[in-house]
A and B are shown apart, each in its own frame.
Chain A
């Protein structure tokens, strides 16, 4: 099981090697190479259509690269059992999708997948952190606002305790209060579980708040990968 892999001396938890993605004759990602260290917080920014979401879909094994490879703990992700890999590399989509009818179905789903009894104390603690009432689990999905749905979707993914968290503009549709709440939960979780965080954002202030490194994607190419200070100090104006 991926989750039982010992960390040992491995520094790079994730590595992309000369990865290309071509879909319907369109070259979406070009020669993508980068590595991620355990505990990194990388903000991925770039114009719409630059391949950011496709990159996350590749890392979560929802799609495969045309060529090149992705290594997780120095092993090609295609060599892992897909379910185990996806439990270790959690991907939270921009649009919160709550399945079924009730919120409960969504929040208990991770326990079901893990074959565990629901831990209502743990669930309650997550709900408290994002200021959602405990009785929200008795509500219908349709009774929730967009912000509430996004918070439920995030808790649903975090309950799987991923080692790498991929967030695809999860706060894009939220107001500032909700955005800050979610950011706090994400950072707390990342610190608590020594997880690695990659997040896509168009919000440069958010990138400054959360990221240690910035990856800038443009037309499928990585045109910058380095520290936040370098990005905003030297390149920020250019990219803004």
Chain B
């Protein structure tokens, strides 16, 4: 794609700007800021990735991955505002999902530990785990606020916090995992996902591109499940004190 083509493509932002202005949505400022930020961020990351790919250093690549996980966990921590140590829980949960799935892909020789392969794949894993963990935190907070009575009745009977929270945890884990599994159901029917689209645009034959997409689908399912389970079974304990009493939210 030439730079001129790209510049002309960017002009498509004028459509929502005009619509927002005419319909008095008041979104013009946000749209402009978002557009400028997207261009700047992507340009910077393009140069950084080029540098990292050329460097091809294991330690540096690992640091980049950890930074990605940390940034994702700061986003989930905001959703988990009210859960003690949400940042740390988010970090470890997302990292667990990443380590297991990335480890699997490398062990199965689907990819190698090279920045050009590991960083984009990890980006997908971390992004999806981040969304799942955020949904999980939000759902846990909602459930612990609205189902206090159920928890207390079970505690009164002599249930442990884990036993008293079991139904809520199941519900929250489902909430976190469903978007990933719903999107798997529609792969190829409703959407041609990012990686497959990218490969096809780059000239890879569709029958080869689907192999990568299948890998990505299962990798994301694995990562999201691991992150959701780790986060939920760690986070629920934060709603109780050492006397197994519900903390005030």
Contacts and interface: CB of A to CB of B under 8 A. Distances in A.
B109 interface: no
A83 interface: yes
Contacts, number: 56
Interface residues of A, number: 25
Given A99-B153, A99-B167, A83 B245 contact: no
Nearest to B149: A97
A98 B147 CA distance: 12
A83 B158 contact: yes
Contact of B163 (A64, A93, A113): A113
A87 B243 CA distance: 14
Nearest to A82: B244
B149 to A, nearest CB: 5
B243 to A, nearest CB: 5
Contacts of B154: 99, 109
Given A62-B156, A82-B244, A109-B157, 15 more contacts: A61-B243, A61-B244, A62-B152, A62-B155, A78-B243, A82-B155, A83-B160, A86-B155, A90-B156, A97-B153, A99-B153, A99-B167, A109-B154, A113-B163, A157-B157
Given A61-B245, A78-B243, A99-B167, A87 B158 contact: yes
Contacts of B150: 97, 99
Nearest to A98: B153
Interface of B: 149-150, 152-160, 163, 167, 243-246
Contacts of A156: 157
A62 B154 CA distance: 11
B242 to A, nearest CB: 9
A56 B67 CA distance: 50
A99 B167 CA distance: 10
10 contacts: A61-B243, A78-B243, A83-B158, A83-B159, A86-B158, A97-B150, A97-B153, A99-B150, A109-B154, A113-B159
A66 to B, nearest CB: 14
4 A-B pairs closest in CB distance? A87-B158, A82-B244, A86-B158, A91-B156
